[in-house]
Structure 1
Amino acid sequence: MPLKRDPHHQRDHHESAATEIDQLSEMLSQDQSKHARRLLKSMHPAKIASLLERLPREQRVAALHQIDARTEPKVLAQLSPALRTQLTWDLDADSDSSRDTGSDPDAGSGEEPETQLNLVLDALDQGKLKRIAKLFRKLHPARIAGLLESLPATERARVWDMVESERSAKVLRHLHEEVRRRLAAEMDLEHLVEAARGLEPDDLVDLIQDLPTATGRQILDAMDQRERERLQSMLSYPEDTAGGLMNMDQVAVRGNIGVGTLLRYLRLREELPPNTDKLFVIDRRHQYQGILRTERLLTARPEQSIAELMETDFEPVPADQSSDAVAQRFEEEDLSSAPVIDADGRLLGRITIDDVVDVIREQGARALTGMTGLDEETDMFAPVLASSRRRAVWLGINLITAFLAAWVIGLFEGTLEQVVALAVLMPIVASMGGIAGSQTLTLVIRGLATGQLGRSNTRILLLKEMGIGLLNGLLWALVVAALAILWFGNWTIGAIIAVAILLNLLCAALSGVAIPLLMSRLGIDPALAGSVVLTTVTDIVGFFAFLGLATLILL
């Protein structure tokens, strides 16, 4: 016996649908695109399709603009063919109108990044999010990532919804760690797993490490057993080691097979992993034996064996080697890929140049931002509280060092009261020492990072920098002394500042070499804290020398 539908339930359902249509229609008519987007995001695709069918034609396109790129195909699949065709035509007509207003996404795909960013911002202001989706379809994932990082957090979330599911994984790969973590946290698990499947294993490992533990475990559980075991093996290594950098898409072969057999095997694969400039030779126990370069393979005779052609002197990379050391070797030897082995000599995977480029970029960013206490992965549009908390620590450290310099000045308060000209000239002494010391500091930090500076040549570098400090000190001491004499008409003050500058530049050269070496031995990154310590030393020495000499001679 068929069940009778409850008329009250049907009436409630129709009333609910009518209310939602009225709400959506009102939001669209009042240009409340954010509210409309939020309402549509909470609905099932079938329900969104039902609402689109009931909306007036002029509001359908406006509503479709607020549907994210991952949900749009599911919504369109629920529509009748006639309505689907009509919506597609209306969207194309809307794009044609954007050309007249200078907001054409087709034109933006070949423009400068600033122009593309302006197109995205204009589309956000007008609520025409599908223009962003159209622009993104023509851009490289790395450029999309750059545009996302150029937006504040709220707008970034809206724009991220316009990235198609099949491309979201590639875009995630190019995002900085903090931005990637925030966007991934906003994705539902289904879309996140779908995006994760499109990532290379090494990039997927990086993503899992950035996510909350529970979310990372859910992604692993969604993978098949073989893929899950590979990922868990890679996750067992710290991300700043060779094991954390490697991927497991290498081509490994036995040394006892022939060239003809290997070529037939490679043809069966149809496609080689990216950056495959060499194959790795192993034995039956998976022990690393050597490499076979692809150019050598292609020019060999079919009857030759792999053992005849392989290079046994190519050093593999230990899995626990630091990523900085790996980057240095790739740079020195101009490598495109290198094998990674465990402590027992078994082949684990390989590191490719694209991963090393990321390490080098991070090194440069760390050196640049570390001197001011900023994290190189910090999101430019991170929340105010998070950013202020990071910077407050370094402002506090700087305050302590400033008080030390002020304390030295306070020791000579009586001298400054009697000879006011000294207060005018003090910044010159401090500035000259700070700049000279920073030059030496930068040189030494670079030498430590590249491995060019060690115990054997430290003394030579120190003598060289002291010589530079002496010559520059004599030159600029005479220049500043002459200017001080012309300014104040006092030969004694000119002589005092000349001696102070000479002493401070010599101290700056010594400190610029000694401070990073000492910090490196203590396990502290000199790029992060070296400039703060150096500035404190040159300020204190400069003020003490200048004011101390003035006290002895003038009073």
Structure 2
Amino acid sequence: MAENLNNQTRQEQLQLLNSALDSGHLIPVRNLLEELHSADIAHLLESTPPRVRNVIWQLLDKEREGDVLQHLNDEIRQNFIENMQPQELANALADLDTDDVVDILGDLSNNVSNQVLRLLDEQNRALIEHALTYPEDTAGGLMNIDTIMIRPRVSVEVVLRYLRIRGSMPPNTDHLYVVNSRDVLIGSVPISSILTCDPETSITQIVDEEMFTIPVDMPDTEVAQIFERHDLVSAPVLDEEGRLLGRITIDDVVDVIREEADHSLLSMAGLDELEDTFGPVLVTARKRAIWLGINLLTVILAALVIGLFESTIGKVTLLAVLLPIVPSMGGIAGTQTLTLVIRGMSLGHISDGNQSYLLKKELAVSIINGVLWALVIASLVYAFAYYKGTDINHLHLAITIGGAMLFNLVTGVLSGASIPLILKKLNIDPAIAGGVVLTTVTDVAGFFALLGLATYFFG
């Protein structure tokens, strides 16, 4: 099967698909689906509205449903599974790797999951049930149990004979794992060594006992960092006693990295990383309403601060023009630091040992930028007030805006550095809550500093 259709881009595929569906001719759609890789079909499904999506799914060969399901966004996949009978789903999952089956079944209710498990063959059922006992976001939930294990005292010829009898190897198999009689990992042997060594060579002569191993309870984000740092293709997963349980391969790690990136990006805007881009209007509106409500509360809080200085604004109407500047600059400076710190935390760069240095460094940065931009805005406001010929003290107005700018830039940067650290200690995801807290702090501090100084000078 060709991996693409005449090297067409995804945009061209979407155009062809939409044109065929609009005309009511489904044969070109079926032909397109037959030529595409399962991952590309999943992309098409994610790029179309639900009505079109359902038509495409009905035209898809039953034999390919499982392959497509494993590539789909969780929310879209769940919608398709809800309309499938347990036997149909079991048939779709029959040829998938155990880790992919576990990913799919792990998102289902226990009732549906158990129904599907009962329909799988006994050997696969036992493996999958065991894998489902591990949390989804750990190495145990990520690993593939289908792993080739060999004994240390056999020869390369015996291993080759075993591989020929087996007929195929699990995807992304670059090493065979050497274990003892209790399945305790001894080391690994590269496939290249098996293919190039003398058949009479003993495995003990070529086994590599130095390797990266993954504890079964390690968080999947840490697994991804290990793969990234050491350029791994696969790594064995061990229990507390050193027994080999399975292996993690690079394709699963790529999924973790992508999910983590989506989570970090979308959470800062209050969006669910699993949200369907073309999902139903009411469902999407309900999900976003909560975040909008929280932001409304923060805006109301900032408005209350402004209300405290109503008389000052009445005396110095130019303040109404300057009000958005200070909170905005503080928010931008804080967001820069917040993003940097959250990224550093996700990569494991920030710990208790270097937090104080980070805060001192960010304080120095904020003071330098604060002084710079305070002087710039103070000069501009002074020149503007002088040009307009206002009857207020131009120097006092410049000091007011400059002082507020310096204060809020320092506040924003220090808040951006400290808020993620505090939220993490409270077991709150900084990517989700950090932006809201920072916006509230910079808005309130900015308005209070500007209007407070204005009240002092012009009271």
- TM-score, with normalisation over the residues of structure 2? 0.94
Is 1:224 the equivalent of 2:128? Answer: no
Residues 181-235 of structure 1: CA deviation (Å, up to 9, x unaligned): 1012223344322211132111111111223433322221111111100010011
Give the distance between the partners of 1:215 and 1:185, measured in 2 at CA. Answer: 9
Q: Measure, in 1, the Cα distance between the counterparts of 2:86 and 2:348.
A: 44
Separation of aligned partners in 2, 1:539 and 1:387: 28
CA deviations on 1:438-489 (whole Å, 9 max, x unpaired) are 0000110011000111111112221221111111112211221122122222
- 1:236-275 matched pairs, under 5 angstroms: 236-275=133-172
SS of the residue corresponding to residue 361 of structure 1 reads helix
Corresponding residue number in structure 2 for 1:518: 422
- Which residue number corresponds to residue 533 of structure 1? 437
**C-alpha separation between the residues in 1 aligned to 2:86 and 2:15?**
32
Partner of 1:550: 454
Deviation at residue 549 of structure 1 after TM alignment: 0.8
The answer to whether residue 100 in structure 2 is matched with residue 203 in structure 1 is yes
Q: 1:354 aligns with which of 251, 273, 289?
A: 251
Asked whether the 8 Å contact 2:176–2:189 carries over to 1, the reply is yes
Answer yes or no: is the 8 Å Cα contact 2:87–2:116 preserved in 1.
no
1:108 and 1:119 in contact (8 A); partners too: no
State the structure with bigger RCO (CA 8 A, min sep 6), 1 or 2.
2
Name whichever of 357-366 and 412-421 sits farther off: 412-421
CA–CA separation in structure 2 for the residues paired with 1:486 and 1:142: 60
Equivalent position to 2:376, from 464, 479, 488: 479
What amino acid does structure 1 have at the position aligned with 2:241? D
Contact kept in structure 2, 1:280 and 1:288, CA below 8 Å: yes
Instruction: Name the CA distance, whole Å, in 2 between partners of 1:148 and 1:413.
Output: 54
1:411 and 1:133 mapped to 2: Cα distance? 66
Counterpart of 2:264?
367
Report the residue type matching 2:444 in the other structure: I
Letter in 2 for 1:230: L
Counterpart of 1:451? 348
Aligned-pair CA distance for 1:520: 0.8
Q: Note the C-alpha offset of 1:371.
A: 0.5
- Other structure's SS at 1:137 match: helix
How big is the shift at 1:108?
Answer: 6.4
Paired AA for residue 64 in structure 2: R
Aligned counterpart in structure 1 of residue 406 of structure 2, from 498, 502, 506: 502
Residue 333 (structure 1) aligns with: 230
Aligned residues of 1:326 and 1:356 also touching (Cα < 8 A): yes
- The DSSP-based 3-state class of the residue aligned with 2:223 is helix
Contact 2:5 2:35 in 1 (8 A): no
What is the alpha-carbon distance in structure 1 between the residues aligned to residue 165 and residue 123 of structure 2?
21
CA displacement, residues 239-282 of structure 1 (integer Å, 9 cap, x when unaligned): 11111111112111111212232222223323221111111111
Q: Confirm whether residue 306 of structure 1 aligns to residue 203 of structure 2.
A: yes
User: Once the two structures are superposed, what CA deviation does each residue of 1:132-187 show, in whole Å capped at 9, x if it has no partner?
Assistant: 11111111111111111111112211111111112221111110100001012223
Structure 1 stretch displaced more, 115-124 or 153-162:
115-124
Q: Which moved more, 1:269-278 or 1:535-544?
A: 269-278
Q: How does 1:391-430 map onto structure 2 within 5 Å?
A: 391-430=288-327
Tell which structure's C-alpha radius of gyration is larger. 1
For 1:495, give the aligned amino acid: I
| Equivalence for 1:119 | 16
Deviation string, structure 1 residues 397-443 (Cα, Å, up to 9, x no partner): 11121122112111111111111111110100011000000000011
Q: Could you tell me which amino acid in structure 2 is paired with residue 475 of structure 1? A: L
CA distance in 1 between counterparts of 2:99 and 2:5 reads 32
Partner of residue 390, structure 1: 287
Encode CA deviations 1:377-402: one digit per residue, 9 max, x unaligned: 11112222222221111112111211
- In 2, are the aligned partners of 1:429 and 1:501 still within 8 Å (CA)? yes
d(CA) in 1 for partners of 2:111, 2:371 = 64
C-alpha distance in 2 between matches for 1:525 and 1:129: 46
Q: Quick one: structure 1 residues 220 and 445, their matched pair in 2 at CA, closer, same or farther if it must change by over 3 Å?
A: same
- Residues 288-299 of structure 1 mapped to structure 2, 5 A cutoff: 288-299=185-196
Contact 1:316/1:341 (8 A) holds in 2: yes
Instruction: Name the aligned partner's letter for residue 297 of structure 1.
Output: I
2:87·2:119 contact (CA, 8 Å) conserved in 1?
no
| 1:74-85 superposed matches below 5 A | none
Count of residues in correspondence between the two structures: 450
SS at match of 2:353: helix
The TM-score with structure 1 as length reference comes to 0.78
2:82 to 178, 185, 199: 185
Q: What secondary structure does 1:350 align onto?
A: strand
Matching residue of 1:462? 359
Q: Which shows bigger deviation, 354-363 or 136-145?
A: 136-145
Deviations 1:17-70 (A, max 9, x none): xxxxxxxxxxxxxxxxxxxxxxxxxxxxxxxxxxxxxxxxxxxxxxxxxxxxxx
Gapped regions of structure 1 (runs ≥ 5): 1-106
Distance in 2 between residues matched to 1:471 and 1:178, nearest whole Å: 46
Q: In structure 2, what is the equivalent of residue 342 of structure 1?
A: 239
Amino acid at match of 1:325: E
2:127 maps to a residue whose letter is R
Structure 2: unaligned runs, 5 residues or longer: 387-393
Instruction: Provide the alpha-carbon RMSD of the alignment.
Output: 1.7
CA contact under 8 A between 1:185 and 1:211: conserved in structure 2? Answer: no
Name the CA distance, whole Å, in 1 between partners of 2:121 and 2:45: 31
Q: Distance between the aligned counterparts of 1:213 and 1:117, measured in 2? A: 36
Asked whether the 8 Å contact 1:130–1:162 carries over to 2, the reply is no
Verify: 1:134 aligned to 2:22, yes or no. no
